[in-house]
Amino acid sequence: MKAQRMLSNRRQAILQTLSMGAFALPGISALADAPSSSGRMVLVFLRGAYDGLSMLVPHGDERYSQIRPNIGIPKPDGTQKTALALDATFGLHPACAALLPLWQQGVLAAIPCAGSPDPSRSHFDAQYHWETGKPGSSSPSAGWLNVLSGMVGNGVGLHALGVGESSPRILSGPRPVQLVGNGLSATRAGTLAESKTREAVLQLYAGNEKMASAMLEGATNRMSTAAMLKTPSMASSNEQQAANNGAGSPQGLALDAKHLGTLMQQNRQLRLGFLSSGGWDTHINQGNVTGLLANNLSNLSNTLIQLRAAFNEPNDVVIVASEFGRTCAENGTRGTDHGRGNVMWLLGNRVQGGKWHGRWDGLAQNQLNEGRDLPVHHDFRGVFAQALAASLGLTKASLADVFPGSRWDDSLDGIFKA
Amino acid sequence: MGVKEGEQAIRFLANHPATAQRISLRLAEYFVADLPPQALVDQMAKTFLATGGDIYQVMKVMLSSTAFWDPENKLYRTPYDFACASLRVLNVAQDRNKWLQAFGYSFVAGQAIQNWQTPDGYAFNANTWFTPEALTRRIDFALTVARNAPERSDLYPYLSDTTIKAVMKQPPLQRMGFVLGSSELVFK
């Protein structure tokens, strides 16, 4: 594949696309045109390394409560003050009770020890690897969702949507993608919805084609997004603008998920969705059954319920992941530090749900990476590849275009139904 | 012993040509252009190494360059930059409502103050911030924050004829919004 410049000249790219002048990258195979290619994939990326062992609680391991005396979730006893048993090995954090029916329906699955082959414990580097799909490489690269969006529909039109973050790296690159703001800002069309105002600003930019066309395109996009999001179901829900720092608070995530669902429902060309939230880097006082992390997990659960409602067609899949995991033992400040392997979640009708998949060796110190972290048994690219094959019909051959240098993980061949 | 080794490591890095290039490039990207001329960067790097890292001298080289003064070398203001510039132009930094609006604009635009999580800091190049929707949000902010602001005709000599013409078409109390939204102020 040709090397790509880190261009995000979206205006030009979109205008190009609109005039049907889109270029095709040589050598990129189109996705298989089979019935299985009709689905949509949504990635929920938790920035900051969420504590997967608090969401998928390894209650069956006797070492768990020893190494997490203050932040551990108690063994299941049938109440909501303890882990909700999924099987003899794992339970769900009680704040994620809303997800239990999905597990029981067989549409929700977990992979406990997934992650990056690169050992970096830097959020910055690890997120970069995850978003470019090239662990270990720091050279300029397009986001893999951007590359993938070009493989859908033979490189014509907009096929990927990000809601919330203004410029996520995973979506950046030469292909035009749709980006919608966070929270309630997405529902407001702005001052340029007034034609009088647009006219006046056009005069301000007279002779400046770049500014004038950008303004008009932006105004048009916002008006149509706002119109799509002003459906009765949106108006009746009780969302509040995330008032705290950060473009992606866990509370705001559920609202962004709702917007994502609505927009992707209204525009079936959009096959790839991206959401993200921060606030997961719980080094201090992460809490246990209640507390900071529990609140975030509750918001995440609400988000997944939203997404399940919008993405429940046969080949839709929602994936939850973080750039790495956290230490198995708690630290001196009732939190956890950076680790390696982490739990990835898969949600969809094709998912072999109601079970966890892949390798799990327990929490004995000699089974952990450097005696402290969950090991990475499954390269995250292998997990994504399985999902992309199931939902979008990605062939193994085209895997190399999205994740160059990665290999198919056939130990995960059972995570999706045929 | 450990501390001495650390100091040695820092000195080694500080004297490395790559360090001179990196610092010079970042300064030139920030003050001159997103893609500054390599010749200028090289000159700055040479000065850095020759003076043992004297930033004052490096900056002098940059500020005396033709590239710095070339009107074609425009920089697109980041949302935070634009928010601050707007408050300065309107002279309303002491007005709580106005700076709350500015704060809110930075947040919605994706540059919440001091909220970048990784050590590289917010990007400041046009490709990151100049997108169609982002431009419209900038205009929203400009028109809102400048509503009823007293006209600053002392700025007009610095604006193009096209801008002035469009600005003067507006009633006096709406003019500053259009001044802020002009390409002269959206860029710097």
Using the predicted structure, report yes or no on whether residue A160 has a pLDDT greater than 60.
Answer: yes
Structure tokens at B96: 């709580």
Considering chain A, what is the average pLDDT of its residues? 87
Chain B residues with CB-CB distance to A245 below 8 A:
112, 114-115
Q: Do B163 and A204 touch (CB under 8 A)?
A: yes
Using the predicted structure, report yes or no on whether residue A152 has a pLDDT greater than 90.
Answer: no
Please state the ipTM of this predicted complex: 0.91
Interface residue of B103, B128, B135, B160 to substitute, partner A, most A CBs within 10 Å: B135
pLDDT at A185: 83
DSSP three-state, residue B121 = coil
**Tokens 């979506």, residue?**
A171
Using the predicted structure, report yes or no on whether residue A223 has a pLDDT greater than 50.
Answer: yes
* Structure confidence by residue, pLDDT tens digits, A75-89: 999 999 999 999 999
On whether any CB of chain B is under 8 Å from the CB of A332, the answer is: no
Using the predicted structure, report yes or no on whether residue B42 has a pLDDT greater than 60.
Answer: yes
Chain A residues with CB-CB distance to B134 below 8 A:
166, 218
Q: Which amino acid is at A177?
A: V
Report the 10 Å Cβ neighbour count for A266. Answer: 14
Choose the closest CB to A123 out of B117, B165, B170. Answer: B117
Buried b / exposed e along A30-52 (16+ C-beta atoms within 10 A): bbeeeebbbbbbbbbbbbbbbbb
pLDDT at A136: 93
Structure tokens at B27: 């300064």
On whether any CB of chain B is under 8 Å from the CB of A4, the answer is: no
Percent helix, percent strand, percent coil in chain A, to nearest 5: 40, 15, 45
Chain B residues with CB-CB distance to A246 below 8 A:
112, 115
In B106-125, the residues whose Cβ lies within 8 Å of chain A are 107-112, 114-115, 117-120
- Angle formed at CA A408 by CA A407 and CA A411, multiple of 5 degrees: 125
On whether any CB of chain A is under 8 Å from the CB of B19, the answer is: no
Cβ proximity of A368 and A333 under 8 Å: no
Q: Mean per-residue pLDDT for A139-145? A: 93
Q: Are strands A272-277 and A160-164 parallel, antiparallel or unpaired?
A: parallel
In B27-66, the residues whose Cβ lies within 8 Å of chain A are none
pLDDT at A186: 87
Q: Exposed/middle/buried for B34, CB within 10 Å: 0-12, 13-18, 19+?
A: middle
Q: Mean per-residue pLDDT for B145-173? A: 95
pLDDT at A418: 86
Under 8 Å CB pairs connecting chains A and B tally to: 110
Chain A residues with CB-CB distance to B181 below 8 A:
201, 204
Q: Do A48 and B117 touch (CB under 8 A)?
A: yes
pLDDT at A142: 94
Using the predicted structure, report yes or no on whether residue B82 has a pLDDT greater than 70.
Answer: yes
Buried b / exposed e along A98-112 (16+ C-beta atoms within 10 A): ebbebbeeebbbbbb
Chain A residues with CB-CB distance to B171 below 8 A:
none
Res. B110 pLDDT band, cuts 50 70 90: confident
The pLDDT > 70 percentage for chain B reads 99
* Structure confidence by residue, pLDDT tens digits, A169-191: 999 998 989 999 888 888 899 99
Q: What is the pTM assigned to this prediction?
A: 0.82
Chain B residues with CB-CB distance to A207 below 8 A:
162
For residue A235, the distance in angstroms to the closest alpha carbon of chain B comes to: 21
CA dihedral over A356, A358, A361, A367, signed as positive or negative: negative
Return d(Cα A78, Cα A369) in angstroms, integer.
Answer: 33
Report the 10 Å Cβ neighbour count for A25. Answer: 15
Q: Which amino acid is at B93?
A: A
For residue B162, the distance in angstroms to the closest alpha carbon of chain A comes to: 7
Using the predicted structure, report yes or no on whether residue B91 has a pLDDT greater than 60.
Answer: yes
Using the predicted structure, report yes or no on whether residue A324 has a pLDDT greater than 60.
Answer: yes
Name every residue whose Cβ is closer than 8 Å to that of residue A203 and which is 6 or more positions away in sequence. B162, B165, B166, B169
Res. A13 pLDDT band, cuts 50 70 90: very low
Which of A34-48, A227-241, A319-333, B111-125 holds the top average pLDDT?
A319-333
Using the predicted structure, report yes or no on whether residue A339 has a pLDDT greater than 50.
Answer: yes
In A142-181, the residues whose Cβ lies within 8 Å of chain B are 165-167, 179-181
